[in-house]
Amino acid sequence: MIVRHFSVLCLTSTIVAIMLLISRPTLSFTGITNRVRSQGKRKVVRSATTSDSSVFDTRTNYDNGITFDPIHYEPRDFFRYELIHQSKKPGSLARVGRIHTPHGIIDTPGFVAVATNGALKGLSFEDADRSNQQLVFCNSYHLLLHPGPDIIEAAGGLHAFTKRDTNRPFITDSGGFQVFSLAYGSVHEELTSKGELKKSHGKNKHRKVIKNPVNVTEEGVIFHSYRDGSKIKLTPETTVQAQKAYGSDIIIPLDELPPFHIDRERLEKSVALSHRWETRSLKEHLKDTRKQAMYCVVHGGLDIELRRKSVEYLTSLPFDGFAIGGSLGSNHEELMDLLAWMMPMFEVDDRKSKPRHLLGIADEAGVMGAVAKGFDTMDSCYPTRIARHGTFLTREGKLHIKSSKHSRSFGVPIDKNCSCTTCQKYDRAYLWHLYKAKEPLFIQLATQHNIHYMNDFMAQIRKDIMEDKM
């Protein structure tokens, strides 16, 4: 099952941690986290709740009456996409370009590493930068819960807080993906349950059970913190305000991520709700752009009509780029089929002049397919996650270091053609030992290699496009 963010695989620890206290006050972050009055009870729909069916208005007017001034459609002087070369290979939409941001250039197509809590797992930003990691993805949901937007803003934004090179940009999401994962569970659970919402049956130390971990209304979504059980209210406006505090270069509006196994009527309502939320997010963002770009998130599942409507509506608004999200199929073939008929819609008019991002898909096969369909950037925790579990990405395929056959591979690097510090200094025998001994150093060395490999992989892809091979 491929769902909006393939990085859902990285959420296991978050989802398992729903041992919550239901008697906490609601939190709302209007730029800075503040306590507000708890919400009243809502009508229950399985483990997610809604006020009533009117919340999901299916009217084609998605905008809540919101309009935008002509000036909002003018090109930004702080953010732009530069096309360098469009592949001439028949049937290919691949292109090479640069995204110019206030914190440096992103060479495209490019891999986007995921730093969930403002940190790459097992690797410093300095080490990642040495492997030419440009754009990094941080998750608003986790940063909201800790340390909080107010602290990051007081530090001077994400770059100052993390001490990352100011010539390396950040992208942040709205937090919605992680919130809806609390309700709908992991990809595996969604597939095996045939669409049944995940039941939050965990108990906290006080033996209290959270019956409805997520409550969706027209206003926004209320969920429980996995850290202390407090209720938190997320709205299109507050998620934008939080991302303003983070100071990220690219921000994402609030949208709903419905489960894969839903009927067409429910999907249509979800798309309409996401459009209204995204329009409100954009309106809030444009009040004070702070030299930040905002991408829309195109929804519609595998439904051609809904995807088309989503593309047409969202591209009519003054967003700075396009992200593709929502349910993207149950396997690689469905994903590629979806992109094959959808991505040509971005080749018309001024849509070609804006960057395109694929949310949560960045395994090698996914990258190759997405690039051929015209994507510029792709994010995923896949390379860093498999590194922690002993798998290296190499030019000859995946290498699983836990095998005892590597115990005497003295002097043999993970990848003889790799220039990363791991391959230049260490051999397979030592890395096998570190993994089997559960030494923390292994995670650092494995992650360093996989991040370096992905950026080398993308550099080769750009070269192939320039030569019209892809």
What amino acid positions are annotated as catalytic residues? Answer: 173, 379
- The answer to whether the beta carbons of residues 303 and 341 sit under 8 Å apart is no
Q: What is the largest CA-CA distance in the chain?
A: 68
Other residues' Cβ atoms within 10 Å of the Cβ of residue 1 = 20
**How big is the chain, counted in residues?**
470
Alpha-carbon span 372 to 106, nearest angstrom? 18
The closest of 48, 28, 51 to 40, measured between CA atoms, is 51
Pairing mode, strands 95-101 and 397-400: unpaired
Give per-residue burial for 215-229: e unless 16+ CB within 10 Å, then b.
bbbbbbbbbbbbeeb
Alpha-carbon span 126 to 279, nearest angstrom? 36
Alpha carbons within 13 A on the beta-carbon side of 453 = 29
Tokens coding 434:
């570190």
In order of 23, 42, 178, 252, 361, the CA distances from 225 in angstroms are 12, 19, 11, 21, 26
In order of 199, 357, 379, the CA distances from 363 in angstroms are 30, 14, 9
Q: Which residues contact 38 (CB under 8 A, 6 or more apart)?
A: 25, 26, 231
Dihedral over alpha carbons 355, 251, 178, 218 (to 10 degrees): -110
Q: Which residues contact 410 (CB under 8 A, 6 or more apart)?
A: 427, 429
Task: Measure CA 216 to chain center.
Answer: 21
